[in-house]
């Protein structure tokens, strides 16, 4: 029996089992036991997994197969015993979570992991093949710096794997712990292969968190982790050492088949010289690859390349030497491309590199061909290019003016023009400004920002480091670009659930604004931080940042900006249930908005006044305020504001015990909220409709909506989370 026949039989059995479960479910009517529902869902996942694997064996390459495996090398030789052991560890019969591949730098850990993954794909061992690499670090005068905004690198991995599985709801979760658990739940019943690359770049705590996650990985999912350090128990550990001399000779011949000049040199070189090259490289595949690149592209003889290799410092920082020696002969265009790739956090196409650098596509191709040959750049599928993490480190060090890495001097020999780096940073700030903002239709472009968030995130961190904040200002231009970037992104971060990131970027804008004595920018940064704390009902933190905003606006804000600060103080007072003070502040802000002709802000203030008087059961005044606000929003065509004001009118109808009047308001809110993509408003509308159904005695339908809303609230850590939980429990108590 071949593999296809065996898999087809397993699939047929699974389908029969699902049919039995579905018949059992039908016997329960609408009250299906939870354990049966879970068993049904897992069986359905199992069938989907089997169908995907069977399609692979049939050569159909199903579109449902999540697969982002890159090819990092143009040739792969040797490691046959290691490959065999890895594939055995990835079998469902092995009880471990997979394989850890460790060893010193340059031994080919990533190449082996990808080779094993590609072989597993050929054998259809899994229903998903997902690769993600740890965020890298760079060197500066102060030491090693992390280039990520996220609180945990494990969370970054979880985002990438969830994105690869098409689980956008998991990607958009705001709570890292919840995202971690949701990813594990999504993997149950599946058979995915997850590759965790370059874990040596993380600190001990982060590596331990990943090890704990991998111990909980549901079977038969498997993982491959590459690191210079061991990454936890319950897995096979492959320690990569030097290539054998036989495999090294095979590598030389494989590269020679790609480069005619190298083939000529190898043919003319005595065997003992080739042995000397192997020994000088220590069997290190990357060092060998670099040496062969000197011959293939730079025109060296093998003997000359050997002498260069022998000059490497006797230290673990071999790549520092290799990079410095190679980069010394790069052209200005080559360095510009390297500078660009050091800023890109995702593989870049030649077109994107041309847009960012101002070079023409032909010039980009000439440079990347050279950089790939010299092993400084990875040539990926689809004419995309990226830097090896270690190469990125050295480029960043050169750009920052670091004088040496280890014993190898950088400045003087490697002259990278920081203007090229600034041009790339400006490219990404301009990109954010083009597709970001807070206009009434801005949300329609947010998918473009989502797709490039990893790049935008890295740019923000780079700009902060260059600016020197917090602390003594080092670079005014970088500080201004950071302000521009935050201003372009804050509404996107709010809509898409990147609330922690909005807090972080808002703090940085506040610090940059103060450093530049730009009080208005500092004030808006403080406001964007305070807003998230307010929406999480973290009242004292919100009040603290609101006070900073007011202080900044008092120093340099316009009359309008001072009014915004006044209104926000009113929101803080209302959250503290000081309704009289809240109403006074709202009225003060409203008067200024009307005086300035700020209709949108006038509508917001009217709505806030409606909320205050409704809290005091003055329903007629509340209705008047809400309808005035809604009329303005309709006039301006602002769908987000219309959704908010409809929600308030729906809530008012429920307060008056008029559920029939509430329904159309909540239905309108839900449609608008889904259109503009604000998840908290979707949850609000779902809860409102659930309360309408509750009043009608339709508890099961109400509970379904309430649970959907609760899921959103928990992800956002929203201020109304406790209300959502209470609504769910109440509906369950009524038989929902």
Would you give the end-to-end CA distance of the chain in angstroms? Answer: 50
Are 326 and 376 within 8 A, CB to CB? Answer: yes
Sign of the dihedral defined by the CA atoms of residues 567, 572, 575, 580, in that order: negative
Q: Per-residue pLDDT for 11 more than 90?
A: no
Q: What pLDDT is stored for residue 63 in this prediction?
A: 66
Residue 136 and residue 48 share a domain: no
Q: Per-residue pLDDT for 580 more than 90?
A: yes
The bridge status of strand 348-349 relative to strand 137-140 is unpaired
Measure the CA–CA gap between 417 and 335, rounded to whole angstroms.
8
In degrees rounded to 5, what are phi and psi of residue 430? -60, -40
Measure the CA–CA gap between 647 and 641, rounded to whole angstroms.
10
Least confident range of 259-268, 283-292, 355-364, 574-583: 283-292
Instruction: Find the mean pLDDT for residues 250-266.
Output: 89
Instruction: Find the mean pLDDT for residues 200-225.
Output: 86
CATH classification at residue 343:
1.10.10.10
Q: Per-residue pLDDT for 137 more than 60?
A: no
Q: What pLDDT is stored for residue 34 in this prediction?
A: 78
pLDDT tens sequence across 295-328: 887 778 888 888 777 654 333 344 454 455 566 6
Residue 252 and residue 199 share a domain: no
Residue 222 and residue 121 share a domain: yes
CATH classification at residue 167:
3.40.50.300
In order of 151, 209, 417, 430, 703, the CA distances from 420 in angstroms are 30, 37, 6, 15, 57
Q: What pLDDT is stored for residue 398 in this prediction?
A: 67
Domain assignment present for residue 304? The answer is yes
- And the tokens for 595? 């005086």
Residue where a domain terminates, one of 183, 205, 239: 239
Residue 220 and residue 86 share a domain: yes
Q: State the DSSP string of 551-598.
A: HHHHHH--HHHHHHHHHHHHHHHHHTT-HHHHHHHHHHHHHHHHHHT-
Residue 234 and residue 271 share a domain: no
Q: What pLDDT is stored for residue 1 in this prediction?
A: 47
Domain assignment present for residue 72? The answer is no
Helix, strand, or coil (residue 90): coil
Residue 186 and residue 85 share a domain: yes
Domain assignment present for residue 599? The answer is no
Torsion of CA 29, 30, 31, 36, to 10 degrees: 80
Are 408 and 314 within 8 A, CB to CB? Answer: no
Domains held by the chain: number = 4
- And the tokens for 556? 């340099």
The bridge status of strand 98-102 relative to strand 236-239 is parallel
Q: What pLDDT is stored for residue 438 in this prediction?
A: 81
Residue where a domain terminates, one of 311, 336, 354: 311
Are 343 and 454 within 8 A, CB to CB? Answer: no
Residue 167 and residue 52 share a domain: no
**Residue 142: alpha-carbon gap to chain centroid:** 27
Residue 13 and residue 147 share a domain: no
Residue where a domain terminates, one of 353, 385, 416: 416
Bridge partners (DSSP) of residue 226 are 101
Instruction: Find the mean pLDDT for residues 328-343.
Output: 84
Are 635 and 665 within 8 A, CB to CB? Answer: no
pLDDT tens sequence across 665-718: 999 999 999 998 888 899 999 999 999 999 999 999 999 999 999 999 888 888
Residue 399 and residue 260 share a domain: no
Question: Residue 229 — very low, low, confident or very high, per pLDDT cuts 50/70/90?
Answer: low
Place of tokens 């050492």: 241
Residue 383 and residue 287 share a domain: no
Residue 209 and residue 171 share a domain: yes
Residue 123 and residue 172 share a domain: yes
Q: Which residue has the higher pLDDT, 476 or 26?
A: 476
Domain assignment present for residue 710? The answer is no
Measure the CA–CA gap between 112 and 239, rounded to whole angstroms.
11
The bridge status of strand 143-146 relative to strand 137-140 is antiparallel
Domain assignment present for residue 333? The answer is yes
Measure the CA–CA gap between 431 and 37, rounded to whole angstroms.
46
Domain assignment present for residue 515? The answer is no
What is the widest separation between alpha-carbon atoms in the chain? 98
Are 413 and 332 within 8 A, CB to CB? Answer: no
The rounded mean pLDDT for the chain is 84
Determine the angle formed by the axes of helices 599-615 and 579-596, rounding to 10 degrees.
160
Query: Domain residues for 391?
Result: 326-416
Measure the CA–CA gap between 212 and 545, rounded to whole angstroms.
36
Strand blocks (E) in 104-235: 128-133, 137-140, 143-146, 192-197, 222-227
Domain assignment present for residue 73? The answer is no
Q: State the DSSP string of 111-141.
A: HHHHHHHHHHHHTT--SEEEEEE---EEEET
Helix, strand, or coil (residue 227): strand
Number of Cβ within a 10 Å radius of residue 139: 19
Domain assignment present for residue 98? The answer is yes
């Amino acid at each position: 029996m071949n593999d296809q026949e065996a898999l087809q039989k397993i699939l047929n059995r699974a389908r029969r089992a699902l049919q039995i479960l579905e018949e059992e479910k039908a016997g329960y009517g609408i009250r299906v036991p939870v354990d049966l529902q879970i068993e049904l869902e897992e069986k359905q996942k199992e069938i989907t997994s089997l169908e995907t694997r069977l399609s692979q064996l049939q050569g159909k390459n199903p579109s449902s197969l999540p697969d982002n495996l890159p090819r990092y090398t143009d040739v792969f030789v040797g490691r046959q015993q290691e490959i065999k052991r890895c594939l055995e560890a990835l079998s469902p019969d092995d009880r471990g979570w997979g394989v850890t591949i460790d060893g010193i730098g340059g031994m080919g850990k990533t190449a082996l992991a990808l080779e094993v993954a590609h072989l597993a794909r050929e054998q259809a061992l899994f229903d998903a093949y997902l690769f993600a690499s740890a965020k890298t670090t760079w060197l500066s005068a102060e030491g090693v710096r992390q280039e990520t905004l996220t609180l945990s690198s494990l969370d970054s991995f979880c985002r990438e794997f969830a994105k690869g599985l098409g689980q956008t709801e998991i990607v958009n979760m705001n709570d890292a712990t919840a995202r971690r658990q949701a990813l594990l739940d999504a993997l149950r019943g599946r058979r995915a292969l997850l590759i965790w690359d370059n874990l040596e770049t993380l600190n001990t705590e982060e590596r331990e968190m990943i090890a704990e996650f991998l111990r909980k990985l549901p079977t038969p999912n498997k993982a491959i982790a590459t690191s210079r350090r061991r990454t936890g128990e319950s897995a096979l550990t492959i320690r990569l050492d030097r290539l054998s001399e036989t495999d090294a000779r095979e590598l030389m011949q494989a590269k020679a088949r790609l480069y005619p000049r190298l083939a000529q040199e190898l043919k003319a070189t005595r065997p003992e010289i080739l042995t000397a090259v192997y020994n000088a490289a220590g069997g290190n595949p990357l060092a060998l690859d670099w040496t062969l690149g000197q011959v293939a592209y730079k025109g060296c003889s093998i003997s000359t390349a050997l002498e260069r290799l022998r000059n490497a410092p006797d230290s673990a920082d071999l790549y520092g030497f290799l990079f410095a020696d190679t980069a010394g002969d790069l052209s200005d265009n080559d360095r510009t491309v390297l500078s660009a790739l050091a800023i890109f956090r995702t593989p870049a196409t030649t077109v994107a590199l041309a847009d960012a650098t101002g070079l023409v596509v032909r010039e980009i191709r000439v440079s990347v061909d050279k950089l790939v040959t010299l092993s400084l750049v990875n040539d990926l599928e689809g004419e995309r290019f990226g830097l090896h993490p270690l190469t990125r480190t050295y480029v960043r060090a050169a750009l920052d003016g670091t004088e040496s890495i280890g014993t190898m001097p950088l400045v003087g020999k490697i002259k990278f023009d920081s203007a090229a780096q600034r041009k790339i940073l400006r490219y990404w700030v301009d990109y954010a400004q083009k597709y970001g903002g807070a206009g009434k239709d801005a949300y329609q472009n947010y998918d473009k920002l989502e797709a490039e968030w990893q790049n935008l995130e890295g740019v923000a961190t780079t700009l902060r480091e260059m600016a020197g904040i917090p602390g003594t200002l080092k670079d005014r231009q970088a500080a201004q670009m950071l302000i521009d970037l935050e201003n372009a992104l804050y509404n996107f971060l709010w809509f898409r659930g990147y609330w922690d990131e909005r807090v972080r970027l808002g703090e940085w804008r506040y610090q940059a604004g103060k450093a530049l004595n730009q009080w208005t920018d500092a004030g808006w940064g403080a406001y964007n931080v305070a807003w998230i704390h307010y929406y999480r009902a973290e009242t004292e933190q919100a009040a603290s940042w609101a006070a900073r905003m007011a202080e900044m606006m008092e120093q340099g804000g316009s009359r309008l900006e001072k009014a915004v600060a006044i209104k926000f103080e009113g929101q803080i007072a209302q959250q503290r249930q000081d309704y009289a003070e809240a109403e006074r502040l709202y009225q003060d802000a409203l008067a200024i908005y009307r005086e300035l002709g700020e209709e949108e802000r006038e509508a917001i203030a009217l709505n806030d006044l409606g909320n205050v008087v409704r809290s005091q059961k003055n329903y007629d005044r509340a209705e008047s305020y809400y309808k005035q606000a809604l009329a303005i929003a309709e006039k301006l065509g602002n769908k987000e504001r219309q959704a908010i004001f409809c929600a308030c009118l729906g809530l008012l109808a429920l307060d008056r015990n008029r559920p029939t009047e509430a329904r159309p308001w909540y239905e309108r809110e839900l449609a608008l909220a889904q259109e503009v993509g604000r998840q908290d408003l979707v949850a609000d509308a779902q809860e409102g409709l659930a309360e309408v159904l509750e009043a009608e005695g339709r508890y099961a339908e109400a509970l379904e909506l309430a649970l959907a809303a609760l899921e959103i609230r928990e992800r956002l850590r929203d201020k109304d989370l406790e209300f959502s939980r209470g609504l769910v429990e109440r509906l369950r108590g009524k038989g929902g």
